[in-house]
Structure 1
Amino acid sequence: MHAVPPPLPRTAPTRLAAGPPGSGWAWCGAGAGLAGLIGLFGTAGIYTQDAWDAGDNDRMAASVAEHATLVWAHQALCALVVTLLVVFAAGLYRHLALREPPGGLVPAVAAAGVLLTAVAVFLGAGLDTELWWSVGTGAIADPDTVGSMVVHYGALPWLWGGLGLSAAAVARAGFARRSAGRGLALTSAVAAVLLLATQVTPVQYIALLPGALWLIVAGPLLARQRTVLAGARAAAD
């Protein structure tokens, strides 16, 4: 006969010593919105308006060459925004998954909208490398190619319409199951409507404005919700 090993002693579930997850991810969302709103607007002026109005690609390429430093800054800024958005997406998913019923789609949809926006910014930044090597080395490449890239430079990184999915998911979580605060739910509902409006009209790049503003407002509200929850748990202990 083989000896049967004694059963392992039962232990109480281990609690996380650090308490509930922190709120740094929420501030990353606010930072992404601020960087996008100020930074992308600030680095948009890589050409003079008269060159654009003239429709002359030779003048356009020469104008971009004079602002090549902004192209470089735009690429670095986009990398920052993408990083902040990815962290925010992961935190938002975890935040909602802890409050929504298991297997629900709301956390995944909310995170997917943020990641979709990050992809748009990431792809938009790819134009910066092409523009830099086209005009930033002292020799201007094919002006028609430069003119084509300029059009996308001011459109792709501004396609923040994916945040409409995130805002709608957060609004549903707040109104349907109280998984988000009422203020956040209302703000998200308004943002979702505005972002939808930019996607059903030929001004998709305007989504940067309501999308960034939603992040700037939602970030602190989510961070405050985490702080309140942490305080409630500490009081219960």
Structure 2
Amino acid sequence: MTITTPRDDTASIATPASLGKGWAIAGTTAGLASIVSIVGSAMSGAAYDKSVAGDAVGITEKLSEQTASILLMHTGAMFSAVLLLVFAPGLRRYLQARVPVSSLLPDVAAGGLLLVVVAQLMGTALTTEFAFGLADTDQVVPETAVFFGHWIGTVPWLWVGAGVAALALGIAGRRHGAVPGWLVWTSLVLGGLTTLFGVSPLQYMAGMTGPIWLTAAALGLLKRA
């Protein structure tokens, strides 16, 4: 009869293996693209312009003048979303090689970034129809254009998932030395702020801190890749 000794997963840490730099480059580019997206969204604020507040026709006219900004938001968000599909599993594998096998931190970090992907995908879901439809405002129902203006001013800013990912990375660095000290504190501070913003009524503020963390973290990890 063979007796096997149970594996102690809590103490097991895989030997770090090189993942190359592609995933970290993708993350850095995603961070920069997401900043572009947020800038584009902020420049498409006809729905929040006090000079036309409550005037659906006036808001529609202003939106028709902001199609370049709308397309900038769309392009930045979609580039970021696609690139995060590379960075998220790369970050997961990077952490798996540096934390105990039983740790949830790698999965939490990747899962948080995938939430950002969903938010960016949904945030751009209506842009093609309206960006080109606004070329002829007579063919657009003003109230639907107002809704669209609010949509692109809110949904792409839902970056709470990045806050969770940042906290996971910061904790992995704090407990297991997975990342250097500066990135530990950058992740904990920006991750904490992003998460607090995201779960509060100020949830769209997460769109300001999340992309900054993503860019800084990806750059830091690129240097270690």
TM-score (norm 1): 0.80
In structure 2, the residue matched to 1:219 is 218
Deviation of 1:54 (Å):
2.5
Q: Which runs of 5+ in 1 are unaligned?
A: 1-18, 227-237
Which has the larger displacement, 91-100 or 132-141? 132-141
In 1, Cα distance between equivalents of 2:71 and 2:43: 13
Q: CA RMSD in A?
A: 2.0
In 1, Cα distance between equivalents of 2:40 and 2:19: 34
SS in structure 2 at match of 1:102: coil
- Shift in CA distance, 95/201, structure 1 to aligned 2, threshold 3 Å: same
Task: Choose the corresponding residue for 1:29, options 23, 27, 30.
Answer: 27
Deviation of 1:138 (Å):
5.3
- Shift in CA distance, 38/73, structure 1 to aligned 2, threshold 3 Å: closer
- Shift in CA distance, 177/67, structure 1 to aligned 2, threshold 3 Å: same
- Shift in CA distance, 218/52, structure 1 to aligned 2, threshold 3 Å: farther
Decide whether the 8 Å contact of 2:70 with 2:127 is kept in 1.
Answer: yes
SS in structure 2 at match of 1:126: coil
Decide whether the 8 Å contact of 1:68 with 1:132 is kept in 2.
Answer: yes
In structure 2, the residue matched to 1:141 is 140
SS in structure 2 at match of 1:83: helix
In structure 2, the residue matched to 1:164 is 163
Structure 1 residue 69 corresponds to structure 2 residue 63: no
In structure 2, the residue matched to 1:191 is 190
Structure 1 residue 44 corresponds to structure 2 residue 76: no
In structure 2, the residue matched to 1:57 is 56
Q: Which runs of 5+ in 2 are unaligned?
A: 1-16
Q: How does 1:119-138 map to 2 (within 5 A)?
A: 119-137=118-136
Which has the larger displacement, 132-141 or 52-61? 132-141
Count of paired positions: 208
TM-score (norm 2): 0.84
Poorly superposed stretches of 4+, deviation over 6 Å: none
